[in-house]
Amino acid sequence: MYPNDRVATFIAENFIPVKIHIKEQPDTFKRFGVQWTPTLLTLDSDGVERYRFEGFLPANDFLAQLALGLAHTAFAHEQWREAEGRFRSIVQDFPETDAAPEALYWAGVSRYKGGDPAALADTAKQFQSSYATTSWAKKASVWAIR
Amino acid sequence: MDIAWRKNVDQALAEANASGRALFLDFNAAPL
């Protein structure tokens, strides 16, 4: 299922992994509102869902999505510095993935939540030169200083 | 690296709660 060693290592090192098969555990699919496969969920240690994505992805995109799950978990727990660091690592390590502009957006929000009032305007400026055609750039555009 | 997959969600939730680790749930329909 996970032939890529980097993906397997990332899962093993960062998560308690659970595999749920549609034919073996249909009730668990219903419990988590899963209607398609593959669906991948990140839950925090309290069992609260923090991120999900659907569909097969190449290794780098998959890794970036897993990392988003951990970053959003830190964000939900108001661990702003950790969340910002995790989001920025995604931008740095997986710049070509769809996760990167999402991570750039949330890195800015994390920095802002952490007490830096300039973070949102800085992020909007970054989006003018990176990922400018993405929906995340549109969302950040309202933060730009005019 | 091999992944030590669990199958029981509630046992995994208890394990996560005790260890502070996040959970990764893979819902799939791969051939059995």
Q: pLDDT truncated to tens, each residue of chain A (146 aa)?
A: 577 899 999 999 999 999 999 999 999 999 999 999 999 999 999 999 999 999 999 999 999 999 999 999 999 999 999 999 999 999 999 999 999 999 999 999 999 999 999 999 999 999 999 999 999 999 999 999 76
Nearest to A19 among B19, B22, B26 (CB): B26
What is the number of domains present in chain A?
A: 1
The CATH number of residue A46's host domain is: 1.25.40.10
Q: Tell if the pTM clears 0.90, that is, is over it.
A: yes
Q: How far apart are CA A51 and CA A117, in angstroms?
A: 27
What is the per-residue pLDDT across B1-32, written as a single tens digit (0 to 9) for each?
Answer: 789 999 999 999 999 999 999 999 999 998 87
Closest Cα partner for A91 from A139, A127, A50?
A: A127
Report chain B residues whose CB lies below 8 A from the CB of A69. Answer: 22, 24
State the residue range of the domain holding A132.
5-143
Backbone angles phi, psi at A44, to 5 degrees: -75, 180
Report chain B residues whose CB lies below 8 A from the CB of A5. Answer: 1
Crossing angle of helices A99-113 and A119-129, rounded to 10°: 160
Which residues pair with residue B28 across a beta bridge? A21
Report chain A residues whose CB lies below 8 A from the CB of B14. Answer: none
Q: Which residue has the tokens 């690592």?
A: A89
Q: Which residue has the tokens 């659970």?
A: A18
What is each CA distance from B20 to A46, A74, A138, A143, B5, in whole angstroms? 8, 12, 36, 35, 18
Contact predicate A34/B23, CB 8 Å? no
